[in-house]
Amino acid sequence: MKRTALSTAILLATSPALADTPDTNDAQTLETVQVTASRIAQTVDETLASVTIIDREEIERLQPQQFTDLLEGRAGVETSQNSAFGKSTSVFTRGSSSGHTLLLVDGVRMGSATGGGASWQFLPPEEIERVEIVRGPRTSIYGSDAIGGVVQVFTREGRKGPPKVNAFVGGGSFNTWETGVGVAGGTDNTNYSFSVSHFDTDGINVQDGVGDEDRDGYDNTSLATKVSHRLDNGVEVFGSVLYSEGRTEFDGTEDETDFRHAALRAGLRVPVTPLWDTEVSVSHSRDENDNFSEGVFSSRFDTKRIGVDWRNDLEITDRVYLIAGIDAYEDRVDSTTDYVEESRYNVGAYSVVQVGLGRHDLEGSLRYDDNEQFGDKVTGQVAWGMQATNILRLRASYGTAFNAPTFNQLYWPGSGDPELQAEESETAEIGLRASFDKGYLDASIFQSRVEKMIPVWPPENVDEARISGLELEGGYERYDWISRASLTLLNAEDRETGNELPRRSPVTARFDLDRQFQSFAVGGSVIAKSRSYNDASNEERLSGYGLLNLRASYRLSSEWRLEASVQNVFDRDYVVARNSWDGVDYNQPGRAAFLKLRYQQR
């Protein structure tokens, strides 16, 4: 990796504006480059981690109604939703807990300090340029919450050129309506992007026989903006914002939530020498929920997180690279629940070293965290890779990670335990990747051991889990055909009881196939999951299922395109989660159709 790659690493990792809705060549270039695995810009073929990239071209091709539509069935990834459209969502990466996958939005750490985990359900697909999924521990680079992996979302971007407008309007089943507009462009020194979107649906009835029998709706208004400006001396100033707010309805004692979900970041990037770049940034994230019962305010659970990051990128020699930095953040909780503590800080120091030796590549990372609640923690990771042949690359890695207890687990009145320790893990992985003309195949085998688990309520460090699995992922593009497939075999076991961890399916699979016929395109996705258990005691069995989704698009002109999709074509009745308190299933949508008209100025 030359000096230009070092600059690209910082540029991508901090997500300044690079490109608006990409054309085919741009999409192929972005699809092969990732920065989340090690904070260094590498192609997916070069990285020593298991990585999946979803670019803007694929997002538009798949026509998702929810962000989880992009994740479900990907290699090593499984989701669980308490019904559809803005309802509570869990993401299980490699069988780890829902709070063990770190969500980053343009480099900003997201999540709730009270409940743990991120609000995946509020991410607007129309504001997203690219998604990077890194499977396996990344705590030694990013700190807590990354036992299972990291998902980084990059918002829409701009590039050099005159302002270009994009817009869309659509609607469909469940009285669903959506609309949005944006503009992106740039000059020699400045790139910018700005867009807004709105999504509104009556939804479906979340639970039968609980509360009223009306549909439980959802609306989300989102704004995204990104700008960067390079001064004559090479110093670059950048900033990004993603903000969403709206309301989601559900069944229960509390039946509505007003939410605000935001990620803000600004910084300064300085080329100190030709081989050393330094960057300082500040960030602010919000995960706020105000709950209502029959229109009357009931409770509040708001998290505000303020962070700072100083990182340095150095090219020591032609194939030796070093990234070192310090980051710190403080969680502040504003809640109607009387927590003993309402804030805590975390300060971390990290380093990543990459060394190339002929056909071999070595990578090591080390991180020290000082957390106000649980004290000091040191984590590390080592990885090796070898270019065995022109098309085959081998890799192996070992890493440690931890996950800090939530405020609910620590301080919930009457049942929290302030003496809880952080969950800890060790993970080993071996994998290979074959890259050939127009296609690739990636396979990995992994095993994780998670100690001091907190799987029960009242919370306590009691269990140990052992999670092992096989992941297969491949893709092929030929003669206007685009195909992608993934398969995950998983064994996630609670070592104390011998039971399977709840809501983890032993087998998940996904297959996407699309065909372009000049101005017309058709495609479909098959998503399948085997049975799982809703509870830790494995008494509530959830049946497996398979879904077929179909889609089509027609290019009316160079700037106008009409899109249509049918979800759950065979109208399958399926369940992914059950309310453990009342024993009632969370409903999922039946057959649904959607239509969208899209405009992209060229």
- The per-residue pLDDT for 254 is 80
Tell me how far apart the alpha carbons of residues 504 and 520 are, in angstroms, rounded to a whole number: 38
- The per-residue pLDDT for 89 is 96
Tell me how far apart the alpha carbons of residues 570 and 559 are, in angstroms, rounded to a whole number: 33
Q: Which of 239, 344, 228, 340 is nearest to 284 (CA)?
A: 239
Q: What is the distance of C-alpha 545 from the center of its chain? A: 24
Q: What is the pTM assigned to this prediction? A: 0.94
- The per-residue pLDDT for 41 is 87
Tell me how far apart the alpha carbons of residues 514 and 61 are, in angstroms, rounded to a whole number: 8
- The per-residue pLDDT for 213 is 83
Asked if the peptide bond before residue 458 counts as cis, ω within 30 degrees of 0, the response is yes
Tell me how far apart the alpha carbons of residues 391 and 381 are, in angstroms, rounded to a whole number: 26
Tell me how far apart the alpha carbons of residues 20 and 1 are, in angstroms, rounded to a whole number: 26
Neighbours of 518 (CB within 10 A): 7
- The per-residue pLDDT for 426 is 97
Tell me how far apart the alpha carbons of residues 219 and 197 are, in angstroms, rounded to a whole number: 11
Rg (CA), the chain: 23
Q: Are 376 and 346 in contact (CB under 8 A)?
A: no
- The per-residue pLDDT for 446 is 98
Tell me how far apart the alpha carbons of residues 284 and 154 are, in angstroms, rounded to a whole number: 16
Look up residue 250 and give its two tokens: 């559900």
Look up residue 244 and give its two tokens: 């969403």
- The per-residue pLDDT for 252 is 79
Residue with tokens 């965290």: 369
* Residue ranges of E strands in 123-235: 128-135, 149-155, 161-172, 176-186, 190-204, 216-230
- The per-residue pLDDT for 61 is 97
- The per-residue pLDDT for 10 is 42
The ranges of the chain with pLDDT < 50 are 1-31
Q: Are 494 and 511 in contact (CB under 8 A)?
A: no
- The per-residue pLDDT for 4 is 38
- The per-residue pLDDT for 463 is 81
Q: Are 370 and 326 in contact (CB under 8 A)?
A: no
Report all structural domains of the chain as residue ranges with CATH numbers, in order of start: 3-600 (2.40.170.20)
Look up residue 149 and give its two tokens: 């992996």
